[in-house]
Amino acid sequence: MITIRNAAPGDVPQILFFVKELAEFEREADKVVATEALLHEAMFGGDRPAAEAVIAEIDGEPVGMALFFHNFSTWTGWRGLYLEDLYVTPEARGAGVGTALLKHLAGVAVDRGCTRFEWAVLDWNVDAQKFYQSMGAVPLDDWRINRVTGDALAKLAGRS
């Protein structure tokens, strides 16, 4: 049986492991610089956590997670829920874990009054795209994600 529970501080090592596994799958393993200390501070430090996570378990064993945070839409004038990472172990894929995680987060979004639930998926990950569409997601093909990091971010901020 699949159970979904809120992550606790003791889950940070498992969350980081899942993040690294997902990055490996996405062919970006060298990009992960997060540490347990950074994730702990982001998720459990201070009054306003930057992110939250839920853990999926089968028979008490962690088999997946979803890491998420609130975003905001000026069009709706209200908050949304953004799924940063969805990960299911290879052994648990096809067992309904991803579906359970998405349904759980949809419930979180509804319970918190969010006006949207969204995430990004790599263009080559066709299986994930089909899965998300089967769950009711609509791809926004005419939108592109833009990102500035590292030295380029410092330069843009005028601090290089």
- pLDDT attached to residue 16: 99
- pLDDT attached to residue 53: 99
Q: Hey, how many other C-beta atoms are within 10 angstroms of the C-beta on 122?
A: 12
Query: Measured between alpha carbons, how far is 61 from 26 in angstroms, rounded to an integer?
Result: 24
Q: For the chain, report the end-to-end CA distance as a whole number of angstroms.
A: 52
Ramachandran bin of 11, using left for φ above 0, alpha for ψ from -120 to 50, beta for the remaining angles: alpha
- Per-10-residue mean pLDDT, the chain, length 160: 98 99 96 98 95 98 99 96 98 97 98 97 95 95 92 94
- So which residues are the catalytic ones? 132
pTM of the model: 0.94
Q: Which residue has the tokens 């949304």?
A: 80
Query: Measured between alpha carbons, how far is 116 from 114 in angstroms, rounded to an integer?
Result: 6
- pLDDT attached to residue 160: 82
Q: What domains does the chain contain, in order, with CATH numbers?
A: 2-119 (3.40.630.30)
12-25 and 36-44 helices, crossing angle to 10°: 110
Scored b (16 or more CB within 10 A) or e, 33-53 reads eeeeeebbebbbeeeeeebbb
